[in-house]
Amino acid sequence: MRTPRDSRIAVIGAGPGGLTCARILQRHGVTVTVHDRDAGPDARNQGGTLDLRADNGQIALREAGLLDEFFALSRPEGQEMRQLDPAGETLFRHVPEEGERFKPEIDRGRLRDLLLGSLRPGTVRWGRALEAVDGPEEGPRLLRFTDGTTVEADLVIGADGAWSRVRRAVSPAVPQYSGVSFLEARFHDVGTRHPDIADLVGPGSAAAADGDRGLFAQRNGDDHVRVYIIQRVPADWITAAGLTVEDTDALRALLLERYGAWSPRLRRLISDNDGRYADRPIFALPVPHVWEHSPTVTLLGDAAHLMPPLGVGVNLALLDACELALALARHDTVDDALRVYEKTMFPRSTETARLLDGAAEHLLSPEPPDFADAEAS
């Protein structure tokens, strides 16, 4: 059986989990290649802001040798949390203490740039959209890409997110719609162009809900704010209304009607956005999600355990990546390393997924959060 150092290891997906795994492997002298569907590192916007927690995400960055750089780029003030009622009155506010670094925020794009810059040149192969993983279970595996090219690998690590193509090689599970959908709105240069929204959101995040609908606004770097308009609706609610996501004015009018009883100040989070909305229905994998062990394929992050977006996804992905990379660095065979990794990852992800099963509904709760419970989760 091949040792990890003698194996052709292919990571699919250049998100935080895949890049962290590659970084830690390289620090331990293990060769790895990352394949990503994007044409290049700047092909698309990487999304909003992330909090990386001391008890999981930061552990991985420490093993990657990047924790100090993370702290230099992060925004500890982003830990501030505000809960409002639909009238715009403050129900709850957490202001982080001086020096608090339990879960500072960092923009997803800056985290990705940090990780990419830490890898050896040529580690990431861009423009590689995976079509399928073929080949015998004992290996070698054949990666088939949509451009017609193929690559052989002795180990395939699926870090390719919610709609993972690697997952199909080990599991028939597919994500299911949660019943809750986000519509994302973006605000640029808020200090100058949207001062009322800058004041409402503050340096961190602000949320409000009435039991059926909610708003979650979050400060990003570079004076940006992203707002998530949260509704309990069918996944195709936009199409059912006879609209497309490009119909910005018509969507805005529909949303303002649905949020008609909310305060004018909060309704500006719906009406004053810069540009079009982005449709983001919330999906999750069945609970539990496990698979029969394969000596040549494994998964991490959302590919392994997609959950509602309640602050755990990227942290679990980074912890998965760290533990998988360390297992490969410390064991004599790939098979032994995968068994050690999955023995820990399966129960951890199952426990967390059970806690969050159906928890997308919590995003609509009008009750203020229990901050002590939130930090323990």
For 44-80, write each residue's pLDDT tens digit.
777 889 999 999 999 999 999 999 999 999 999 999 9
How much is the pLDDT for 373? 38
Summarize the confidence of residues 339-358 as an average pLDDT. 93
Summarize the confidence of residues 115-127 as an average pLDDT. 97
Mean pLDDT for the chain overall: 93
Q: What is the CATH number of the domain that holds 151?
A: 3.50.50.60
The model's pTM is: 0.94
Q: Are residue 183 and residue 215 in the same domain, yes or no? A: yes
Q: Are residue 275 and residue 343 in the same domain, yes or no? A: no
- CB neighbour burial string for 175-209, b if at least 16 within 10 angstroms, e if fewer: beebebbbbbbbbeebeeebeebbebbbebbbbbb
- Flag whether 193 is in a domain: yes
- Flag whether 33 is in a domain: yes
Higher pLDDT residue, 282 or 374? Answer: 282
- Flag whether 89 is in a domain: no
Q: Are residue 289 and residue 279 in the same domain, yes or no? A: no
- Flag whether 371 is in a domain: no
368 band by pLDDT with thresholds 50, 70 and 90:
low
Structural domains counted in the chain:
2
15 pLDDT more than 60: yes
Summarize the confidence of residues 302-315 as an average pLDDT. 90
For residue 299, what are the contacts with CB-CB under 8 A and spacing of at least 6?
A: 157, 158, 159, 164, 166, 167, 170, 171, 291
- Flag whether 100 is in a domain: no
- Flag whether 96 is in a domain: no
The stretches of the chain forming alpha helices (DSSP H) are 16-27, 57-63, 67-73, 108-118, 190-193, 195-201, 237-240, 248-258, 264-271, 302-305, 313-330, 334-356, 371-376
- CB neighbour burial string for 68-89, b if at least 16 within 10 angstroms, e if fewer: eebeebbbbebbbbbbbbbeee
Q: What is the CATH number of the domain that holds 211?
A: 3.30.9.30
Q: Are residue 27 and residue 113 in the same domain, yes or no? A: yes
- Flag whether 352 is in a domain: yes
Q: What is the pLDDT of residues 152-195, one digit of tens each?
A: 999 999 999 999 999 999 999 999 999 999 999 999 999 999 99
Q: Are residue 32 and residue 139 in the same domain, yes or no? A: yes
Q: Are residue 305 and residue 242 in the same domain, yes or no? A: no
How much is the pLDDT for 109? 93
Q: Are residue 170 and residue 75 in the same domain, yes or no? A: yes
Summarize the confidence of residues 256-263 as an average pLDDT. 97
Distances (CA, A) of 40 to 4, 19, 43: 28, 14, 5
Q: Are residue 272 and residue 138 in the same domain, yes or no? A: no
How much is the pLDDT for 369? 52
Q: Are residue 241 and residue 294 in the same domain, yes or no? A: no
Q: Are residue 145 and residue 264 in the same domain, yes or no? A: no
- Flag whether 315 is in a domain: yes
Q: Are residue 234 and residue 256 in the same domain, yes or no? A: yes
Instruction: Tell me which residue range forms the domain holding 272.
Output: 177-284
Q: Are 182 and 230 in contact (CB under 8 A)?
A: yes
Residue finishing a domain among 241, 266, 284: 284
Q: Are residue 299 and residue 352 in the same domain, yes or no? A: yes
